[in-house]
Amino acid sequence: MPSHSLLQLGPLLPALEDRLAQRYSVHPLWKEPDAAAFLAARGAEFVGLVTSARYGADQALIDSLPALKVISSFGVGLDAFDLDAARARGIAVGYTPDVLNDCVADTAFALLMDVARGISAADRFVRRGDWRTGQFPLATKVSGKRVGILGLGRIGQAIARRTSGFDMEVRYHNRRALNDVPYVYEPTLKGLAEWSDFLVIASAGGGGTRGLVSREILDALGPEGYLVNIARGSVTDEDALIDALVHRRIAGAGLDVFTHEPHVPEALMALDNVVLLPHVASNTHETRADMARRVEDNLAAFFAGRPLISAAV
């Protein structure tokens, strides 16, 4: 018989939902016609919350669940969570880092290659029939170039390792320098941007990094520099980025994330010097299966009285 009552905030992988339903009593909040009324009437029933990086858990939701003891999230992003509210209540928060590092890093490098060499643009060129009447424009060499990484955490380091096969030089900017990495630390983001041929954003989202890649940083990257973002759209000033792309103050951008997903500004979609992906950096069968298993393992560890496998709080 299922034990422990869990509230599920939004849809997850069907296989994960099936396995959770076999083990727990799960209620899908998003199917309620009036979620606020449901929480007011039954919020005290739930000891666990299953959510994702997309939906998070804000203070209002946490406050509506007085018996809540554990949150297990599908994803690595934490900017949609009120971690202070969870910490104040002693609520354990689990998420799914590490298991998605490789696929996110692969996507970052795919975007870097695509925007520099014009892979997607060349595909459109062929499909339009333009090859019959002209030659595709020259692109930018990738090998031997300089890669600056904003946020040298797990994913940032996985991206850095991939550059070795292309004989690229790597520098990074964090809040503080790391002692155990072979890459040069740039103390300012502006300095990193000025040095870089490619500036890759791999930092956390949230209020502390909102708009960090500003017009000033984009101007420092310059008209031969490229921006790649596989982190959070909020890290970049999207209006400034559009302006820089339109006026060619930077050479191009590869974006998997946007400020108001799934809305992508029409101005971006009209440009041929930007590659646009629908937030799919971790979207492989293997990685999503590993993420689902981590959601389950975090819950299982908590209810067995053990530390969470991957704890944010």
311 lies in some domain = no
Q: Over the stretch 197-245, which tens digit does the pLDDT of each residue have?
A: 999 999 988 888 999 999 999 999 999 999 999 999 999 999 999 999 9
Q: What confidence score (pLDDT) does residue 105 get? A: 98
The answer, yes or no, to whether residue 1 has pLDDT greater than 60, is no
**Residue 91 CB-density burial (10 A; 0-12 exposed, 13-18 middle, 19+ buried):** buried
- Is residue 307 over pLDDT 90? yes
Whole-angstrom Cα distance, residue 57 to residue 75? 13
User: Domain check: are 107 and 234 in the same one?
Assistant: yes
In a domain, 281, yes or no: no
Whether this prediction's pTM lies above 0.95 is answered by no
Instruction: Name the catalytic one among 171, 232, 288, 294.
Output: 232
List, edge to edge, every strand of the sheet that includes 226-229: 184-185, 169-173, 146-150, 198-201, 226-229, 252-255, 274-276
Q: Is the pLDDT of residue 2 over 70?
A: no
Position 48 in a domain: yes
pLDDT at 174 over 70: yes
Average pLDDT value for residue range 248-268: 96
Task: Burial-class residue 16 by CB neighbours within 10 Å (0-12, 13-18, 19+).
Answer: buried
User: Considering 171, 186, 238, 279, which one is annotated as catalytic?
Assistant: 279
Nearest to 120 by CA among 264, 263, 252: 252
**Which pLDDT score is estimated for 205?**
85
**Mean pLDDT computed over 37-41:** 97
- Co-location of 64 and 142 in the same domain: no
The alpha carbon of residue 274 and the mean position of all alpha carbons in its chain are separated, in whole angstroms, by 18
Domain interval for residue 32: 5-97+286-303
Active site residue 232: yes
| 19 and 153 assigned to the same domain | no
Of 161, 261, 286, 306, the catalytic one is 261
The CATH number of residue 152's host domain is: 3.40.50.720
Q: How far is Cα 196 from Cα 219, in angstroms, rounded to an integer?
A: 12
- Residues 135, 217 within the same domain: yes
* Statement: residue 147 has pLDDT above 90: yes
Please indicate whether residue 279 is annotated as part of the active site. Answer: yes
Domain shared by 130 and 202, yes or no: yes
Total number of domains in the chain: 2
The set of residues, in sequence order, having a beta carbon less than 8 Å from that of 13 and lying 6+ positions away, is 74, 288, 292
| Catalytic residue status for 154 | no
Question: pLDDT at position 206, please?
Answer: 82
Same domain, 85 and 144: no
**pLDDT per position as a tens digit, 86-100:** 999 999 999 999 999
